[in-house]
Chain A
């Protein structure tokens, strides 16, 4: 039973294309996140949704558009892909709380731009 699942696991595409990454969680959490891990292994928050509403948007280019159709899903669409978008993208979920709720992560989507 995978708690947080992302698809696809690998994504290789050309510069300028548009692609989507899907994320689903079966933990009953109300908050979901997207993180980006660059080539230097630095992990950084991109977006967070709580009950389908955007609550964190960390100065991400507007080529990145998250969508949350329901509490269990948070998808990430990327337009006009650039070389610098090559990274591993992690989805996570948690229950909203007072800083004491753990986040559960997926295994990542490895995006490579040719």
Chain B
């Protein structure tokens, strides 16, 4: 699986937007960009994924660079509940053998 690079930690104020960056310069043309997050004492939670176009869902937005070598997860209004470790993961078209390879992620702190 291609490697991703994320900042170790970020801070945000509550109610403000948060932009979590991810670099993936060795991404292949068929790799999907996935984001998961892990809240304290919980299992990882799927957030969003995309291939080439920007994506929106009820949790977040995913902005993908035109060359696909980087992406940004956008939380439009951070809340205290969004404090978690956010993982950016690339997944290739491996059919049934489709594991998730977690890196160290970005620890997001949200303050009042």
CA distance A41 to B8 in the complex (A): 13
Contacting residues, chain B, for A58 (C-beta < 8 A): 99
Contact with A along B92-103 (1 / 0, CB 8 A): 111111111110
Whether A43 contacts B93 in the complex (CB less than 8 A), given A100-B32, A102-B49, A105-B43, comes out as no
Contacting residues, chain B, for A42 (C-beta < 8 A): 102, 104
- B46 close to A103 (CB less than 8 A): yes
CA distance A31 to B94 in the complex (A): 13
- B102 close to A99 (CB less than 8 A): no
Interface size grouping (class) on chain A? 20 to 34
Stretch at the interface among A14-22, A76-84, A89-97: A89-97
- A108 close to B46 (CB less than 8 A): no
**What is the minimal beta-carbon distance from A53 to any residue of chain B, in angstroms?**
9
- B30 close to A105 (CB less than 8 A): no
CA distance A93 to B112 in the complex (A): 35
Contacting residues, chain A, for B38 (C-beta < 8 A): 43
The interface size of chain B toward A, counting residues with CB under 8 Å, comes to 28
The answer to whether A101 has its CB under 8 Å from any CB of chain B is yes
The answer to whether B68 has its CB under 8 Å from any CB of chain A is no
- B99 close to A33 (CB less than 8 A): yes
CA distance A63 to B104 in the complex (A): 27
CA distance A10 to B42 in the complex (A): 13
Q: Can you identify 21 A-B contacts, CB atoms within 8 angstroms?
A: A4-B43, A33-B99, A43-B44, A43-B100, A44-B102, A45-B100, A48-B97, A48-B99, A90-B44, A92-B100, A97-B95, A98-B95, A99-B31, A99-B91, A99-B92, A99-B94, A100-B91, A102-B46, A103-B44, A103-B46, A107-B43
**Interface residues of A, Cβ cutoff 8 Å to B:** 4, 31, 33, 35, 41-45, 48, 50, 55-56, 58, 90, 92, 94, 96-108
